[in-house]
Amino acid sequence: MAKTFVVYKGITAYASIQNIGDRISVSQLELDFAVNQIPKATVVLSMGQLADGSKSPIQEKLNSLEQRLAVKIYLVVTTADSGSASPSPTLIFNGYTSACSYSKTYGSCSIVLGVVSVLNDLAYSSAFSDLFSTASVGDFFRPMVWKIGAAGVQAATAQALAAAFAPKLRSDFWEAALKDSLISMCTAPLLKPSIAQPGTGVAGNTVLNNKLALNILNDYDETIDPVQLQPDLAHDRVFQAMGLSIANALWSQGRGVTVWSKMLSQLSAFGVGFIPAADGFMVAPVAPMLASTITDAFTDIGAAEYSSIVTTGFRRPISGVKFVVGSSGLSGVSTPARQFISAAFGWCTPSNDGQLLVVPAPAWVYLNGTTTADDIASGATIFSGGSNPTAVPAGETKANQTVTDLFNSWGKNGPAPRLAHMVFCNEAFRGNTATLSGKLRFDIPPAACVRVEAAGNDLYTSKKDEKQYFYANVEGVRINISVAPGQTAASTTFFLSHVRTKADDAVAETEHPLFTTYFKGSTYNIAYVKELEKDIAV
């Protein structure tokens, strides 16, 4: 099938590149945004001769190209309905140079730049960049040992993370670009977790997402309301535990772990993901496997909206998921279905054939009413050892109960079974992937859920008036724009996961296991989307 592009009469792109120029014409542009990944872009700059045969002025500055030059990419879009007013340029990517190449044709030369988002600094940041203890001459190169107490958490975290984010190549980069992108641009609403005392629920109270970002990325203040969650899992503060766990790993492991990798691992344990945008990101609960009955969670992609689609993979034969406490080295281990496992809890469907996944319980289930911030930050053992550690449920001060008892007291609709069900859905369907290419769209971000109309409906149903759909989660979005003389072409490619039919959708989620809501894509009202939608009939 021939690839179809939507051609716009007046769409142009230009780049502002440090030391090179403020308004450099872009002939081709490819942008990649994906959940839990650092955005990247490929920019092609046309470098042809001027009409009089002389060099383009920009050619004189080619020797100034180097790594980590600040780059901002803008779009200017006009249509027949735009009128005589000149549209304002819209920022669509903020980053710095990471690679450079060129290609030459008759009469022209094109410079190809690789650009990476400012978030990339998190992938090269570790807490011990400049922090050392000098208690004695012999200990000069020994990393500082942190004693994290309630009074010293804020100052210690601020000092450690300030050093962690300070880049080595350009000392002004953190203040100039990274700090604003990571903190000031976080404005999406986030709901408090619904982890509750056994048998009770918690109504979600909206807090600003930038407060969560401040807790994780900047400095921790235990008086900030969003991290003082009451009631929740046995009176412990979930986001405090998350933030301190990240900080503790950075401090204890030094250069052995990056801020980015530790942040992703901690957030994933709570079902929270990074959702990148043009000039920032969101931190929000993500549930990839949402039920199709939640109509407002899906954005439709009609059969006429795409020109090609490639699917791969089938549902993985899994019967259920069991969490095990007190055992190590179980990641990825599977056992035959219906096998009884002691000291385990989770969600399963014994009637289904397939494997029963056995995975270690997430760290947050270990929290109990006696856990303190010092315990979490120091990595101290919270429970007694053995294959069945003990925990104290909320409000209990008498004999310890097992973690299994604690989970059972929540009932079948508690956070543990819900989390196990989400793990089941992810493991069973994440291999069902698809790549869909079609019209230029700015209204579907990474982590959104989509309902795609099947192009060949006559092949899938005997009722020709009944449309067929499949459902999927958007893992990534790629935007391609080509601005050639006399023609402009633009398209969007969606990378989909958890692809499923309506029948498969019967086991999908209706709620996030730990939060009262989740990211649906409907709150992705970034400024550049709003501006472009004024001029583009998407």
Q: Which pLDDT tens digit goes with each residue over 116-157?
A: 987 776 666 543 333 322 233 232 222 222 222 222 333 433
Query: For position 384, what pLDDT does the model report?
Result: 34
Q: Is residue 74 part of a domain?
A: no
Are 147 and 245 part of one and the same domain? yes
Alpha helical stretches, state H, 10-125: none
Q: Is residue 255 part of a domain?
A: yes
Are 274 and 376 part of one and the same domain? no
Query: For position 115, what pLDDT does the model report?
Result: 94
DSSP classification of residue 180? I
Are 235 and 361 part of one and the same domain? no
Domain boundary among 383, 401, 427: 427
- Size (the chain), residues: 538
- Is the CB of residue 254 less than 8 Å from the CB of residue 129? no
Query: For position 34, what pLDDT does the model report?
Result: 93
Cis peptide before 231 (omega within 30 of 0): yes
Q: Which domain holds residue 408?
A: 318-427
Query: For position 194, what pLDDT does the model report?
Result: 38
Q: Which amino acid is at 294?
A: I
Domain boundary among 265, 285, 305: 285
Are 155 and 276 part of one and the same domain? yes
Which are the contacts of 96, defined by CB distance < 8 A and separation ≥ 6?
67, 68, 69, 70, 71, 115, 116, 118, 120, 173, 177
Q: Is residue 407 part of a domain?
A: yes
Are 336 and 279 part of one and the same domain? no
Judge if pTM exceeds 0.95.
no
Are 322 and 393 part of one and the same domain? yes
Q: Is residue 330 part of a domain?
A: yes
Are 177 and 227 part of one and the same domain? yes
Low-confidence ranges of the chain (pLDDT < 70): 1-10, 47-61, 78-87, 104-108, 121-259, 262-263, 266-267, 269-270, 277-284, 324-352, 361-416, 456-465, 484-486, 514-517, 521-538
Are 353 and 272 part of one and the same domain? no
CA distance 255 to 59: 40
Domain boundary among 427, 446, 477: 427
Are 281 and 322 part of one and the same domain? no
> How many Cβ atoms sit within 10 Å of the Cβ of residue 53?
7
Are 148 and 246 part of one and the same domain? yes
Query: For position 495, what pLDDT does the model report?
Result: 96
Q: Is residue 298 part of a domain?
A: no
Q: Is residue 324 part of a domain?
A: yes
Are 265 and 138 part of one and the same domain? yes
Q: Is residue 73 part of a domain?
A: no
Query: For position 437, what pLDDT does the model report?
Result: 92
Q: Is residue 468 part of a domain?
A: no
Which are the contacts of 163, defined by CB distance < 8 A and separation ≥ 6?
127, 128, 129, 130, 131
Number of domains within the chain: 2
Are 146 and 261 part of one and the same domain? yes
Q: Which residue has the tokens 């880049």?
A: 167
Average per-residue pLDDT for the chain: 61
